[in-house]
A and B are shown apart, each in its own frame.
Chain A
Amino acid sequence: MSIDLSKPRGLPAVPAALFGLLAMLGLVVFLGGVSSSDADTVKRTYRVFLHNWLLFAALSQGALVLSAAIRLTNGKWAGPVHRLIDALGAFVPLSLVLFIAIWAGRHELFGWTHHAVYGKEWWYTESFTFGRDFFALIWMTFVSQVYLYLSVRPSLGAARETATGWKGALIQRWTAGWRGEAAERELAERRLRKMAAVLALSYAISYSLIGVDMIMSLSPHWVSTMFPAYYSWGGFLSAISMTALLSLILRNSRELTGEVTESRRHDLGKMVFAFSIFWMYLFWSQYLVIWYGNIPEETGFIAARLGTQFLQDTWYMTGFWTRIAEPYVQITLTAWFLCWVIPFWVLLGQKPKKTPIILGAVASGSLIGFWIERYILVTPSLVSPEQVLAGAPVTPFGGIELGILAGFIGLFFLCFLAFGWVFPGALPPQDA
């Protein structure tokens, strides 16, 4: 179908207001939490902020890696959904800004800011750790902006004639030296392929570093060679679930009407299905080696999340219910169910993959699963199971947890909408 690409549209009022409200709510909860006189509340607020940041920053950046991967493999299945994937990357610059809050809360989060870690004295210092992470995120933001610029520019030909105001000025700047649509497309395609490789490589390195510095450093004596890759892959996989979910929600919007066909839903379903297996494979490969090796410096991290016995010997069911009642075990298993068990068994056949309500529910479940999984990667390192047994309040669904989640959802989708608002043809659910 033909789409009028000539004018940027107005921001869709209802969704924008809703996400604006959520963002405000998040801000209020965050500011209220960090300015509280109760030290535990301050710690908890920063902790929740970190775990949400770890999800949304990696998801947004992972979406651009997905976009890059589709380009590099000449994938034809995405069609107009490709632009939706690009729009998910609009949150990347904001994730850099939000990282400042983690820096601000470093003394509440990272034990190594108070006492040096044996053998890693110079690796974990405030200036070096945050310096390299800021550098990595600034680099990622730069690469992402160049990638999005190259991706969007060829479709701004008509808009540069008609857009006015600051949006017009922005589009004029993004289309400086316009060569005509055909030439622009050809040039962009060539440059995008190169940028796609740079983006994917940069992501693997930068987000591995973030995984080490922002998650592993919370339990600084724990070691796992898999973990950096496991965390960065998680960003990629959550981006796939978000793509599937948004394609279905927006399937009646202006750009996507008639585009989210049965065959495309099948492809999206296959992606969610296949990558949920891959997530499980990474999880299992890490888990099994640690379980089998049974070395205390490795098992501690898993035991804090999956219980003191790692659920072994449960074939006999002896003590099963006691073990499953240990702190965090049920939460960890919930993430495991949502990220793998449900996607695998529900999407095994062809028909569920093609049915919007089923695919949408599985993708939503998987996103909630990733949110819980990020929670479980962070929290037990800061509030140990022993502290929980002694009465420390931990729940993924408390007021602060849900408030800050609301804030992140609000900001994430405001960026998503704004991207489509400025760049016509980029997406927003105007008529959804």
Chain B
Amino acid sequence: MAAITDPVPTSPEDYNEGILAVLAPPSPIYVVAVLTMMGLVGAGAAALAYQTYAGMGVTGLMHPVMWGVYITTFVFWVGIAHAGTLISAILYLFRAKWRNAINRGAEAMTVFSVITAGLFPLIHIGRLWKFYFMLPYPNQRGLWTNFKSPLEWDVFAVGTYTIISILFFAVGLIPDIAAARDRITDWRRHLYGVLALGWRGTAEQWRHHSRAVLHLSGLATPLVLSVHSVVSWDFAMSLVPGWHTTIFAPYFVAGAIFSGMAMVITVLVPVRKAFSLERFIRAEHFDNMGKFIVLTSTIVGYAYAVEYFMAWYSANPYEQMSFWHRAFGDYWWATWIMITCNVIVPLPLWLKRFRLNITWMWCTSILINIGMWFERFVIITTGLSHEYDPAAWGYYTPSWVELTILVASFAHFFMWFLLFLRMFPVIAIQEVKEEQYEHAEAH
């Protein structure tokens, strides 16, 4: 496990060549990877078709656990979507230049994960075609959406987030698409021609572009807080023991950034290796992402501790029972996976030595992803399976349909990301150039 070395690009051409080389004709491994992902997505689609035909009885969802893998996975993917906006918007406003090498990849992940997340409420409602009932518009049914329901707030929160993250992604891409348009000769040239929106790189265009990015950052920053807060309120507004708790909003946001940052590492490590991007995604980037992981893992650990303490402190037997059940009841294994992966596994990253060890970082990031999926599973399932009345307690086991769709969601995300890699520059060329020139000038 060698530490990361960080050679830097030597000339402006080196940036264009190095980054645009990713767009060269694909290797067989890439093709196999994309086909595998497509196959898994196909399997998920088949499972969904079966569920739609046979009804929700083919899932493990049954009283008292009516929210299971689907809602867990929805929250998981919405969480993953947070890293992109954090890196693109908040770090932009804080003038953290190191973001430049990873922001494009993270923004793309945001778009694909929020789209993946958006599928799950549809899958969960069973009657997919009734989804438009959630949209408020004057209609012949004489029905109006229930604005008092946090589930309705979700429609707006996630919808807004999807629009803003796509806008952010598309606006940031314009100059690089233009660079690709001027270089690529195959069929994609026409696509880039359209998407580049006539970009010529004039001073006037750059001025508009940088102002657009600044304003979009300002708009997107509150969204980092609001989206996952609203998702957390799906639970916190209820009276279910273990769900109704005031710390949920900031705790979910910290958890979302935690898992999002871990997914950025999970995805970028192989990409960096496969496309020889070591010159652009360097040691400092892993060091800084590692610091974010440490910070957010600590916040998440603090929230776990406070939840357990307050459950005891409340002197409320239902609350105490719910948390006892989490740690030592039917789902003890899920809870301890969550605590181990989210609090204990990231501890070595307090030391720089581990943050700079790429293999260690990658393995840690995968375990965090697993831990964060289980965090949502633990909250949802343990809460519902042991509510107030012991006669209504139950145990939930996901069916093969749910597990197939869960696996397909990962395949769906990676499929889009792989396709993106071949279509658009994975690193924001003009931003890394700017950073290097400013760095050179400062010296």
Contacts and interface: CB of A to CB of B under 8 A. Distances in A.
Interface string A183-223: 00000000000000100010011001000100000000101
A282 B302 CA distance: 16
Nearest to B310: A225
A201 B298 contact: yes
B247 A197 contact: no
Contacts of B399: none
Contacts of A205: 302
Nearest to B98: A74
Interface stretch (A91-99, A239-247, A287-295, A319-327): A287-295
B250 A223 contact: no
A120 B313 contact: yes
Contacts of B350: 197
A290 B247 CA distance: 11
A73 B303 CA distance: 22
Contacts of A212: 313
A286 B49 CA distance: 41
A194 B400 CA distance: 48
Interface string B238-255: 110000111111100000
B247 A229 contact: yes
A128 interface: no
Query: For B237, B302, B313, which residue has the most chain A Cβ atoms within 10 angstroms?
Result: B313
A208 B306 contact: yes
A226 interface: yes
The SS class assigned to the B binding surface is helix
B313 A289 contact: no
A297 B239 CA distance: 13
Contacts of A282: 250
B284 to A, nearest CB: 11
Contacts of A292: 233, 237
Contacts of B225: 281
Contact of B313 (A223, A229, A295): A223
Contacts of B249: 281, 285, 289
A289 B140 CA distance: 34
A293 B229 CA distance: 16
B360 to A, nearest CB: 19
Interface residues of B, number: 27
Contacts of B247: 225-226, 229
Nearest to B96: A73
A118 interface: yes
B244 A226 contact: no
B302 A285 contact: no
The SS class assigned to the A binding surface is helix
Contacts of B248: 225, 285, 289
Contacts, number: 74
A224 interface: yes
B233 A288 contact: yes
Contact of B310 (A223, A293, A295): A223
A228 interface: yes
B237 A289 contact: yes
B239 A295 contact: yes
Contact of A119 (B250, B302, B310, B315): B315
A123 interface: yes
A290 B313 contact: no
A40 B35 CA distance: 79
B307 interface: yes
Nearest to A227: B246
Contacts of B233: 288-289, 292
A285 B229 contact: yes
B185 interface: no
A212 to B, nearest CB: 8
A267 B247 CA distance: 29
Given A204-B302, A285-B246, A293 B239 contact: yes
A431 B225 CA distance: 44
A277 B221 CA distance: 11
Nearest to B319: A223
B236 interface: yes
A225 B306 contact: yes
B309 to A, nearest CB: 8
Given A221-B315, A225-B246, A281-B249, 9 more contacts: A119-B314, A119-B315, A208-B302, A227-B246, A228-B306, A229-B247, A290-B246, A293-B237, A293-B244
8 contacts: A120-B313, A197-B350, A225-B247, A285-B250, A289-B246, A292-B233, A293-B237, A297-B316
Q: Closest 7 CB pairs between A and B?
A: A119-B315, A226-B246, A285-B249, A225-B247, A223-B314, A286-B246, A226-B247
